[in-house]
């Protein structure tokens, strides 16, 4: 594992001095001077560029100001003015899930969809001793062997169907990876502010996996010491360390998971009452000096044809790159989704929603790419999965948290996903698009089918980006 500090923000006046070859106090090369200057704006009438200048020449004073404002007064948003770019290299796919749990950061990850994976699996510290070391190593080797075999067979089968060789290679990489374990190493670039970084380090250090705790330690070592006045409380306390204990008091589960078909993998649990009315009520509330309850009453009395006409006007000048109006956030939908690790890796990127995930459950079965059937390798894949499940149960007896490392990208988990209509438009444009990966596209399309039944006007233009123009033309041609 390597955690490298790729960059961080410093005052632009210092950058200009460095460009001119002028001497600069190295202590001032910290984001803390910017955060301290911005924190003073609320109580100091001086121009903000003058406040930045004062911070640059009095770094220790700036740090004390940060500590007083962020930790003394509790104005933690000041720490968000300090930002870091971080290289995260050689961590497992499972550890990446822990890292990308944090919503207020940006991540760009190495894709197993586009890059052919070599045999680069991590042996968790939890299974470093015998007999578990050999047990784990052997199952990962089998998964890697099947990956390379499936890649070749899928590519050959697609080329025989007259698929373009480049496209065949891409699909082979995309689908063979369903056999790879969550122990396979990846890498990503991350941009994070100091406020989120402090929270991130604290929670990573409280994680049950050695690898994840090491990630937290390295993040602090690379970034925390650079901004001691902003990243201060990183040691996990009893609140983080005892999060799992409360579950002991919950009722036991009476039923385990069971395999589900793709058609049954998405279920709408709940939604805002009268979703279309909710959006129009917010529109009326914004546009007229009326109480919200009165606005809702007026919308309820409105004929359906008039409601549809209002939505048509709202969407009239919208293009595929526009966000829908914020009023669409006044209606939301909660789904239960059973999905593969591959699909989860993409779903978790939509961080404006609320995502609550259960652990991976082998009893939920695995997702099998159609290309495996075309290449006649699906039975070997299922044999591999059966072997993986046996090893998982054996490893689980030693360490249930680390046993997950051996599960494949095809193994499933159950999640609850709450999302408002505005964000669902964004999700659909990206994940229902023809360029989206097929697994997450199937989920996105099913979500759209469901919400269009309960909110047909709100989602009349919700679709993959590739369908937007045709959908728009169809709506406005029927006026």
Query: Quick one: which of 188, 136, 164, 140 has its CA closest to 2?
Result: 188
Give the end-to-end CA distance of the chain in Å, rounded to a whole number: 59
Q: Is the pLDDT of residue 40 over 70?
A: yes
Query: Quick one: which of 113, 77, 11, 161 has its CA closest to 440?
Result: 113
Which whole number is the average pLDDT over 167-184? 96
Query: Quick one: which of 165, 167, 187 has its CA closest to 117?
Result: 187
Question: What's the pLDDT band for 254 if we cut at 50, 70, 90?
Answer: low
Residue 429's H or E segment, with its range, is helix 421-431
- Look at residue 315 in the predicted model and tell me its pLDDT: 94
The predicted-structure confidence for 374-404, as pLDDT tens digits, reads as follows: 999 999 999 999 999 999 999 999 999 999 9
Which whole number is the average pLDDT over 54-64? 90
Phi first, then psi: what are they for 32, rounded to 5°? -60, -30
Q: For residue 253, what are its two tokens?
A: 């589960």
Which whole number is the average pLDDT over 220-224? 95
Q: Is the pLDDT of residue 370 over 90?
A: yes
The predicted-structure confidence for 446-474, as pLDDT tens digits, reads as follows: 999 999 999 999 999 999 999 999 999 99
CA pair distance 365, 410, nearest whole angstrom? 8
Q: Which position among 63, 177, 213, 431 bears the catalytic label?
A: 431
CA pair distance 197, 189, nearest whole angstrom? 14
Q: Which residues contact 137 (CB under 8 A, 6 or more apart)?
A: 123
- Look at residue 117 in the predicted model and tell me its pLDDT: 86
Q: Is the pLDDT of residue 31 over 90?
A: yes
- Look at residue 479 in the predicted model and tell me its pLDDT: 63
Angle at 97 (CA atoms; ends 96, 103), nearest 5 degrees: 105
Which whole number is the average pLDDT over 43-66? 90
Number of H helices, E strands in the chain: 19, 8
Burial bucket for residue 291 (CB in 10 Å: 0-12, 13-18, 19+) = exposed
| Active-site residue flag, 431 | yes
Contact of 1 with 211, CB cutoff 8 Å: yes
* Longest alpha-carbon distance in the chain: 73
Burial bucket for residue 17 (CB in 10 Å: 0-12, 13-18, 19+) = middle
Q: Is the pLDDT of residue 131 over 90?
A: yes
Query: Quick one: which of 429, 404, 438 has its CA closest to 175?
Result: 438
Phi first, then psi: what are they for 295, rounded to 5°? -65, -45
What are the DSSP E strand ranges found in 365-477? 412-420
Mean pLDDT over the full length of the chain: 93
Q: Please compute, for residue 111, the number of CA atoms within 13 A of its CA located in the half-sphere on the CB side.
A: 12
Judged by DSSP in three states, 84 sits in strand
Number of neighbours of residue 273 by Cβ within 10 angstroms:
9
Which whole number is the average pLDDT over 226-254? 82
Length of the chain: 479
Query: Quick one: which of 85, 468, 424 has its CA closest to 272?
Result: 424
Q: What is the CA radius of gyration of the chain?
A: 26
Which whole number is the average pLDDT over 60-75? 89
Residue 140's H or E segment, with its range, is helix 132-160
Q: How far is CA 287 from CA 120, 282, 295, 328, in A?
A: 57, 9, 10, 14
Using the structure block, give the residue that is written with the tokens 């033309």.
473
Which whole number is the average pLDDT over 231-249? 81
β-sheet bridge partners, residue 188: 88, 109
The predicted-structure confidence for 280-298, as pLDDT tens digits, reads as follows: 999 999 999 999 999 999 9
Residue 186's H or E segment, with its range, is strand 185-193
Which DSSP letter does residue 69 get? Answer: I
CA pair distance 384, 378, nearest whole angstrom? 10
Query: Quick one: which of 394, 400, 1, 3 has its CA closest to 208?
Result: 400
pTM of the model: 0.92
């Amino acid at each position: 594992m390597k955690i490298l500090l790729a960059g961080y923000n410093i005052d632009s006046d210092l950058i200009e001095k460095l460009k001119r070859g002028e001497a600069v106090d190295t202590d001032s090369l910290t984001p803390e001077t910017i955060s301290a200057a911005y924190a003073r704006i609320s109580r100091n009438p001086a121009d903000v560029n003058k406040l930045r200048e004062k911070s640059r020449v009095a770094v220790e004073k700036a740090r004390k100001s940060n500590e007083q404002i962020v930790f003394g007064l509790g104005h933690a948003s000041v720490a968000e003015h300090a930002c870091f770019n971080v290289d995260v290299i050689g961590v497992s796919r499972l550890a990446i899930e822990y890292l990308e749990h944090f919503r207020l950061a940006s991540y760009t990850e190495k894709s197993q969809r586009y890059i052919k994976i070599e045999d680069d699996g991590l042996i968790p510290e939890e299974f470093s001793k015998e007999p578990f070391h050999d047990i784990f190593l052997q199952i990962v080797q089998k998964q890697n062997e099947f990956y390379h075999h499936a890649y070749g067979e899928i590519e050959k089968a697609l080329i025989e169907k007259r698929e373009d060789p480049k496209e065949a290679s891409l699909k082979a990489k995309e689908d063979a990876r369903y056999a790879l374990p969550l122990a396979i190493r990846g890498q990503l670039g991350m941009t994070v502010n100091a406020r989120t970084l402090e929270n991130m380090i604290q929670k990573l250090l409280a994680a049950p996996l050695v690898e994840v705790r090491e990630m937290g330690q390295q993040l602090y070592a690379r970034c925390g010491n650079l901004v001691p006045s902003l990243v201060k409380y990183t040691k996990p306390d009893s609140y983080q360390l005892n999060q799992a204990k409360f579950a002991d008091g919950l009722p036991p589960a009476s039923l385990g998971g069971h395999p589900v078909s793709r058609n049954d993998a998405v279920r709408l649990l709940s939604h805002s009452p009268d979703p279309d009315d909710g959006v129009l009520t917010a529109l009326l509330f914004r546009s007229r000096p009326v109480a919200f309850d009165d606005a809702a009453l007026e919308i309820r009395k409105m004929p359906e044809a008039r409601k549809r006409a209002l939505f048509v006007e709202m969407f009239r000048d919208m293009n595929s790159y526009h966000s829908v109006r914020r009023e669409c956030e006044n209606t939301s939908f909660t789904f239960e989704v059973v999905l593969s690790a591959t699909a989860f890796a993409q779903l978790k990127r939509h961080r404006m929603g609320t995502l609550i995930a259960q652990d991976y459950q082998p009893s939920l079965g695995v997702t099998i790419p159609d290309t495996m059937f075309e290449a006649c390798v699906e039975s070997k894949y299922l044999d591999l999965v059966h072997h993986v499940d046996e090893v998982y149960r054996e490893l689980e007896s030693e360490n249930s948290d680390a046993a997950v490392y051996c599960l494949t990208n095809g193994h499933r988990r159950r999640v609850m996903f709450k999302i408002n209509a505005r964000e669902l438009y964004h999700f659909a444009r990206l994940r229902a698009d023809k360029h989206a990966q097929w697994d997450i596209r199937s989920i996105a399309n099913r979500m759209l089918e469901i919400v269009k039944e309960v909110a047909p006007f709100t989602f009349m233009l919700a679709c993959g980006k590739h369908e937007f123009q045709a959908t728009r033309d169809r709506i406005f041609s029927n006026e």
